[in-house]
Amino acid sequence: MRKTSSPRIAPSEITPRDLYHDRRRFMQAAAGAAAAALWPHWLSAGEKLPGVRKTDHVLPDALTPFEDVAHYNNFYEFGTDKETPSRTAGSLKTRPWTVSVEGEVQKPKLFDVDDLLKLAPLEERIYRLRCVEGWSMVVPWVGFPLAELIKRVEPTGNAKFVEFITLYDPARMPGQKSSVLDWPYREALRLDEAMHPLTLLVFGLYGEVLPNQNGAPVRVVVPWKYGFKSAKSIVRIRFVEQQPVSTWTRAVPSEYGFYANVNPQVDHPRWSQAKERRLGEFFKRPTLMFNGYAEQVAHLYAGMDLKKFF
């Protein structure tokens, strides 16, 4: 019998049978971990977000030019007119940044925003966004469904609403030195609204990291509601049993209801909501019910009087 000089392999070094047969899943997991390791510790405005997947959330509408999206903003933390935020938001430092998820959840957690950003695959979704003042835009947002985060923290049976709270730091947000609103900014959704697949936790637009004036480093986008429901620069997400009082509802309850659904049949007390002007266009267009997303979301409000619950 011919002897071999090959060394004897110890049983402890033999790859387990189940791991060998599941090699595809093992390699995919390893590749995913390697890709995450290649991410920089943090990304700044203007940089491309890696690994963004295109989706079927597209519209026949033309995209609003990036320059308009980045220079025409409602963000009172940086100023009350539309052009000021793009000039003053440079004072906002978005790292370090944490988001506390708390309240009626079984797994409360303090997330570093960079870990939060990698919680689920990033998608590009083209959504309309309409402002209650009568202007609108079409933006390719980058993020993932808020439901991905919600499922991980496991809301309790008492959780009926989700409240979003913006950073309060007048040194970084000079508009907060004004008493125009009761700071910090607070917004909220019903839990089923927050869980809806269209509700997006957003980290970028046009494939790039969010500019500060657009809500960096993390915001929500709820495309069938008026834009003020899409909270920006979030630092706390609270799950609660009772309906929270949102900032604009507290300030002017007769004009800004909790639901704030895009409903052209409900006029703002000071102007009509029947038509809107898309940024970059001259002529107005009719406002669509639920901003054009009625087919996907109307069932959430079945039986509700949307003129009363505006």
- pLDDT confidence of residue 10: 46
Is the pLDDT at 53 greater than 70? The verdict is: yes
Give the confidence band of 44 by pLDDT, cuts at 50, 70, 90: confident
> 291 among the known binding-site residues?
no
The string of pLDDT tens digits covering residues 112-166 is 999 999 999 999 999 999 999 999 999 999 999 999 999 999 999 999 999 999 9
The string of pLDDT tens digits covering residues 227-268 is 999 999 999 999 999 999 999 999 999 999 999 999 999 999
Domain assignment present for residue 309? The answer is no
Domain assignment present for residue 294? The answer is yes
Domain assignment present for residue 290? The answer is yes
Angle at 280 between CA 275 and CA 282, to 5 degrees: 55
- pLDDT confidence of residue 41: 55
Domain assignment present for residue 167? The answer is yes
Q: Sheet holding 98-103: strands in order across? A: 109-112, 98-103, 234-240, 161-166, 186-190
Domain assignment present for residue 8? The answer is no
> 238 among the known binding-site residues?
no
Of the listed ranges 34-38, 58-62, 141-145, 277-281, the one predicted with least confidence: 34-38
> 212 among the known binding-site residues?
no
> 31 among the known binding-site residues?
no
Domain assignment present for residue 306? The answer is no
Residue 289 DSSP SS3: helix
> 160 among the known binding-site residues?
no
- The count of domains in the chain is 1
- Give the C-alpha separation, 29 to 120, whole Å: 14
> 76 among the known binding-site residues?
yes
> Quick one: tokens of 27?
């390699």
- pLDDT confidence of residue 241: 98
> In terms of pLDDT, which residue wins out, 34 or 265?
265
Q: Residue 99: what residue type?
A: V
Is the pLDDT at 304 greater than 70? The verdict is: yes
CATH number reported for the structural domain that contains residue 199 in this entry: 3.90.420.10
- pLDDT confidence of residue 39: 52
Is the pLDDT at 40 greater than 60? The verdict is: no
Domain assignment present for residue 3? The answer is no
- pLDDT confidence of residue 96: 96
The string of pLDDT tens digits covering residues 172-192 is 999 999 999 999 999 999 999
> 158 among the known binding-site residues?
no
- Give the C-alpha separation, 161 to 192, whole Å: 8
Task: Please state, in angstroms and as integers, the Cα–Cα distance from residue 163 to each residue in 148, 247, 300, following that order.
Answer: 16, 11, 18
Q: Residue 186 pairs with which residues in a beta bridge?
A: 165
- pLDDT confidence of residue 25: 39
Domain region containing 167: 13-301
> 232 among the known binding-site residues?
yes
Mean pLDDT in residue range 33-62 = 76
Nearest to 47 by CA among 204, 202, 200, 201: 204
- Give the C-alpha separation, 104 to 280, whole Å: 43
Domain assignment present for residue 5? The answer is no
DSSP label at 69?
A: H
- pLDDT confidence of residue 188: 98
Q: Residue 236: what residue type?
A: R
Nearest to 127 by CA among 192, 200, 180: 200
Is the pLDDT at 65 greater than 90? The verdict is: yes
